[in-house]
Amino acid sequence: FFIVGLIFIPIGIGIFVTSNNIREIEIDYTGTEPSSPCNKCLSPDVTPCVCTINFTLEKAFEGNVFMYYGLSNFYQNHRRYVKSRDDSQLNGDSSALLNPSKECEPYRRNEDLPVAPCGAIANSMFNDTLELFLIANESDPTPTPIRLIKKGIAWWTDKHVKFRNPPGEGTLEERFKGTTKPINWLKPVYMLDSEEDNNGFINEDFIVWMRTAALPTFRKLYRLIERKNDLHPTLPAGQYYLNITYNYPVHSFDGRKRMILTTVSWMGGKNPFLGIAYITVGSIAFLVGVVLLVINHKYRSTSNTADTVAF
């Protein structure tokens, strides 16, 4: 017990400190509140709807900053939802491309054309566009756009092994010939991005989305903000604004949308729980150990007295 206690407490403290050092800011832009700038986008008439949210970073974000979008109350882990995909198709199998798995029903075919990528997951892909601008200072109204890196947000193995575009020569459009886009999508899959190596099935936003979240409230990596050099913080303290192209409807399921900016440590994102838990458990173990020691001691003495009486 003492060992457990003694080991756990420092670990907990370490974790806690690390976690506390992580800078994180979360901006809800669902727009259900009337005051929110994005409130206007709730009506389906406004298309495209762009809204802007201002926020201030109190402290500078050092190191690489990760930009997430977060969704709440979105049950990406619903059994039938999770199943509704065709890994073979996503892996570039040409036969599966034109004849997707039954699991994709009812998002398997649209107007007699196979849907690529098929299934409910793909169909419901997050399609807001987020842009981040730094208002350098009060005086200068021209905002500096923050460079958001699209690549490197998906697992390497996903991008290079699990997801593949259909084989063949020619442009992606040709390779995806004979398929149609998912119903909810605005653009076909081969137009997700301008870059060839981030388009089609290997579009990293798409890959990230396809990795279904475990819990109904989740975040997904959207962009990376790379550290420029050691001298300047990646995101200096100051005023920023977030430009949102609002496409994704969440109010039907009381969902919420967020944008999260966070730095990372060796243990990932900010989460005080682990540290606290470690500290607590360590302390409890220590306490129990002490209690046991006392009990044992007392016990031994009582038995010793009994001993002397008996013999």
The residue among 155 and 241 lying less far from another protein, judged by its C-beta, is: 155
Q: Give the span between the Cα atoms of 34 and 38, in whole angstroms.
A: 9
Q: Choose one: 36-44, 55-63, 188-196, 264-272; the region binding another protein (CB under 8 A).
A: 264-272
Site string for another protein, 84-103 (x = CB under 8 A): xxxxx--x-x-------x-x
Q: Give the span between the Cα atoms of 86 and 104, in whole angstroms.
A: 7
**According to CB under 8 A, which residues from 15 to 74 bind another protein?**
15, 68, 70, 74
Going along 11-98, which residue ranges are E strands?
A: 24-28, 49-57, 65-72
The helix (H) or strand (E) run that includes residue 287 is helix 272-310
Based on the shown chain and the rule CB under 8 A, indicate whether residue 133 belongs to the binding site for another protein.
no
The residue among 86 and 128 lying less far from another protein, judged by its C-beta, is: 86
Q: Choose one: 30-38, 141-149, 155-163, 235-243; the region binding another protein (CB under 8 A).
A: 155-163
Q: Of the candidates 81, 110, 136, 283, which one interacts with another protein according to CB under 8 A?
A: 81
Q: Of the candidates 52, 147, 232, 253, which one interacts with another protein according to CB under 8 A?
A: 253
Based on the shown chain and the rule CB under 8 A, indicate whether residue 158 belongs to the binding site for another protein.
yes
Q: Which of 92, 91, 83, 85 is nearest to 162 (CA)?
A: 91
Q: Count of residues binding another protein (CB under 8 A)?
A: 83
Query: Sheet harboring 49-57: ordered strands across?
Result: 49-57, 238-246, 129-135, 144-145
> How far from 165 is each of 123, 180, 182, 228, CA to CA, in Å?
17, 15, 16, 32
Q: Of the candidates 40, 55, 64, 155, which one interacts with another protein according to CB under 8 A?
A: 155
